[in-house]
Structure 1
Amino acid sequence: MPFAIEATNPRTRAVDLNRLGKILRTREELEAYDVASESWQKALQRRYKTHQEMKGILNHVEEVDTSIYDHFDMRVTPYLAQLMDRDDLNCPIRKQYMPFQGELNVREYEIADSLAEDHDMRDGSTVVHRYPNRVLFLVTTNCGTYCRYCTRKRFVSHRESAVNKQQLESGFRYLESHPEIDDCLLSGGDPLLLSDRQLEDILSQIRIRAPHIKFLRIGSRLPVQLPTRITPELCALIERYEVQMVNVHVNHLKEITPLFADRIKMLRKTGTMIGNQSVLLKGVNDDIATLRGLCMGLVSCGIRPYYCYSCDVAEGNHAYQLTLERILKLYHGLRGFISGPAVPTFVIDGTGGLGKMPIIPNYVRELANGAVWATSFEGKVHRMMNLEKGILEP
């Protein structure tokens, strides 16, 4: 049965939106605002674009050189602004989205295209073909809100880098001519920032011209930044074009709000799988209690914690970086302490185009004498004779 598009009744608004400008300039206006009372497109028009605009709703806003906006744009939805602590500079939402002066201090090991995606773009398109059977198709360079640790800040938010029709057409042709590709991930930017009509054009072209694609995915952070983007109309598209998976990007339990959970429930009714890709960020989610809460919060919404990335070494990202030692401690703090399906795969995306590599603690080791020892989540050690060559192969 196709996904039903239900009529919605007008809601009583907590604030008269017609009397307000696009920007909610005071904390009182912001707190009275109900994001569900207007379309997601209108909510996007209320995004904050400068630190000066944020000073009306937040205290202790950092002074920055305005050139920072040329380096990487700033956009904050009013929904996210509501989640930001008014006074706490260490608020995990503020730390993800508020530009800070240190971004401009690029370290020598930081690289604009740290994953070498540009090298693997094919035939004048925005299709990145690195793995044998799957591709990344970048369909836009815009996002609802810009994460300060973005790995693609070299072109995301920059008008001169916008994806054009010719590049999209080249991408469709590339998919059409490569039957070995059976997995396609739409990303960007954020594909869900496109209108339903634009998104349908892309999905329909892929389904018509590349029927060999068995696994069609969308990666988006907009459901976290503006949950009202998940609408009955969008869900109907997801179901009609058999999008098998939607990956969202939640980094902190504070982002799992009742509105987010409600719209995810709507999306789940399409039958699509929903996964989450987090990034480990210093000062945001780099403690065990926070990660446990995040992972269990995700599964409670029906979202699979899929990947947990080490932060990429894109320019200006050093403030978010964690050491391998710290990452392994975080993993040890999850395995055995929360539900097995709630434990994501920890990965690092290799610099220079090496691809994704799992970060896995060595729970089971074979020593030089051939003995195999295993360590439990509690740190208990036991010899596993059933895995030893001398026992199995006398």
Structure 2
Amino acid sequence: MNVSQRTMTTVEELVEAGLIDRADAPALAEVAARYSVAVPPAAARLIGRPDDPIGRQFLPRPEELRDLPEENADPIGDHSHEPVRGLIHRYPDRVLIKLASVCPVYCRFCFRRASVGAGTEGVLDAAALDAALAYLAGHDEVWEVILTGGDPLAVSPRRLADVSRRLAALPHVKILRAHSRVPVLTPERVTPELIAALTDSGKTVYVAIHANHPRELTPEARAACARLSEAGVALVSQSVLLRGVNDDVETLAALMRAFVETRIKPYYLHHGDLAPGTSHFRLPLAEGQALVRGLLGRVSGLCQPAYVVDIPGGHGKSPAGPAYFHREAQGWSVEDWRGIRHDYVDSVGQSGSPQT
């Protein structure tokens, strides 16, 4: 394999690097014309073959051209909650700002794949950012601002620092969160300048680290995460449950342990969204629930993510994990981590009455 020292963005570059076969190039060029390709060196070095867990995430595949009727270019309904361009206000106390529409790496399962990549604006322009911040100034119920995209840490530290400083003028905003692939797949970008830009706001800062397989948490990625946490940035994880990547209990357990070892608290495990051309990645919901159930008892409570589904149409996230309590004729039963049921008495003190 001849891995390039720069990000590969064309099928021909992937062929030359030995990551895909030349015979497959014509079909994959059609995929790349529809959905952007970007494979940075750190990701390329992890790919053993096109269908390994890392290759499946980042290398184009012919299946991406197969759209299902239920798939949607806006699968989680961003546009129905966009009062000003680039700002999503779905929940009362928090908003998303889509700071960038580009990423250092393009995941083949991305739920925003139809609106990110080549041909987009790149970063939120000055007028749109002004409008977003004016909206925030007029909504003092907003407690948290989440920077997303694209990848918000793909923008320059100068631009990120400008956003942080302007958020500092909004006292009702207490939390600044960024969701990013950068610390894992372009860890060299986590510089003192980027960290200072993130923390300039004076807010409590969280970064949600996106990784889906334990091999992504390389020594370089862990060092980048350490630089963030040692600067006072709290780290949580987000992962997507993906066929052929992490759809077994052993891999999920190893991933969650790797997060915790890196001082990243497991947060969200997303069920695959109904984005165009991604059906080959999605698992049945029942299979996802069984995998999450398999983590209980197998790994520490620190390693348990919240399994969630983004409801199509813009209705927000809903917990999708398995149920352990069951209503019985005479009360309740509860399953332990081995799947064994036990009677449970739902008893309360004298100030209340038992729940039946």
* TM-score category, normalised to shorter length: over 0.9
1:105 maps to which residue? 66
Q: Deviations over 1:140-195 (max 9, x none)?
A: 10000100111111210143444322111111111111111111100001111111
Alignment partner for residue 151 of structure 2, among 190, 193, 212? Answer: 190
Alignment partner for residue 35 of structure 2, among 61, 72, 79? Answer: 72
Letter in 2 for 1:58: G
The reply on whether 1:175 has 2:146 as its aligned counterpart is no
1:331 Cα deviation after fit: 0.7
- In 2, Cα distance between equivalents of 1:393 and 1:358: 23
| 1:18-37 mapped onto 2 (5 Å cutoff) | 27=2
In structure 1, runs of 5+ residues without a counterpart are 1-25, 34-45
1:386 Cα deviation after fit: 4.2
| 1:220-239 mapped onto 2 (5 Å cutoff) | 220-239=180-199
Alignment partner for residue 313 of structure 1, among 266, 274, 280? Answer: 274
Do the aligned partners of residues 59 and 164 (structure 1) sit closer, same or farther apart at CA in structure 2, a change above 3 Å counting? closer
- Kept after mapping to 1: 8 A contact 2:331/2:346: no
In structure 2, runs of 5+ residues without a counterpart are none
The reply on whether 1:211 has 2:211 as its aligned counterpart is no
How many matched pairs?
349
Alignment partner for residue 252 of structure 1, among 213, 237, 240? Answer: 213
2:322 maps to which residue? 361
1:83 maps to which residue? 46
The reply on whether 1:278 has 2:239 as its aligned counterpart is yes
Q: Deviations over 1:287-320 (max 9, x none)?
A: 1100000000110010011000001001111010
The structure 1 segments of at least 4 consecutive aligned residues displaced by more than 6 Å after TM superposition are none
Secondary structure, counterpart of 1:106 in structure 2: coil
Provide the alpha-carbon RMSD of the alignment. 2.0
Alignment partner for residue 351 of structure 1, among 312, 318, 325? Answer: 312
The reply on whether 1:295 has 2:221 as its aligned counterpart is no
Do the aligned partners of residues 388 and 90 (structure 1) sit closer, same or farther apart at CA in structure 2, a change above 3 Å counting? farther
Identity percentage over the alignment? 32
1:54 Cα deviation after fit: 1.3
1:65 Cα deviation after fit: 4.5
1:224 Cα deviation after fit: 1.5
The reply on whether 1:326 has 2:277 as its aligned counterpart is no
1:207 Cα deviation after fit: 1.6
Letter in 2 for 1:294: L
1:52 Cα deviation after fit: 1.8
- Kept after mapping to 2: 8 A contact 1:155/1:161: no
1:383 Cα deviation after fit: 0.5
1:243 Cα deviation after fit: 4.6
TM, length-normalised to structure 2: 0.93
- In 2, Cα distance between equivalents of 1:279 and 1:151: 11
- Kept after mapping to 1: 8 A contact 2:88/2:97: yes
The reply on whether 1:202 has 2:159 as its aligned counterpart is no
Pick which of 178-187 and 156-165 moved more: 156-165
Letter in 1 for 2:198: I
- Kept after mapping to 2: 8 A contact 1:238/1:270: no
1:149 maps to which residue? 109
Pick which of 109-118 and 237-246 moved more: 237-246
TM, length-normalised to structure 1: 0.84
- Kept after mapping to 1: 8 A contact 2:81/2:88: yes
1:79 Cα deviation after fit: 1.4
- Kept after mapping to 1: 8 A contact 2:161/2:196: no
- Kept after mapping to 2: 8 A contact 1:96/1:149: yes
Secondary structure, counterpart of 1:171 in structure 2: helix
Q: Deviations over 1:209-236 (max 9, x none)?
A: x221011111111111111111122222
Q: Deviations over 1:321-355 (max 9, x none)?
A: 11011001101110111000111000000001110
2:86 maps to which residue? 126
- Kept after mapping to 1: 8 A contact 2:347/2:355: no
- Kept after mapping to 2: 8 A contact 1:106/1:316: yes
1:59 Cα deviation after fit: 5.2
- Kept after mapping to 1: 8 A contact 2:57/2:108: yes
- In 1, Cα distance between equivalents of 2:87 and 2:296: 36
- Kept after mapping to 2: 8 A contact 1:218/1:243: no
- Kept after mapping to 2: 8 A contact 1:363/1:376: yes
Letter in 1 for 2:140: P
Do the aligned partners of residues 216 and 371 (structure 1) sit closer, same or farther apart at CA in structure 2, a change above 3 Å counting? same
Letter in 2 for 1:215: I
- In 2, Cα distance between equivalents of 1:192 and 1:235: 10
- In 2, Cα distance between equivalents of 1:69 and 1:204: 38
Letter in 2 for 1:256: L
The reply on whether 1:335 has 2:296 as its aligned counterpart is yes
- Kept after mapping to 1: 8 A contact 2:99/2:152: yes
- In 2, Cα distance between equivalents of 1:232 and 1:50: 31
- In 2, Cα distance between equivalents of 1:364 and 1:304: 26
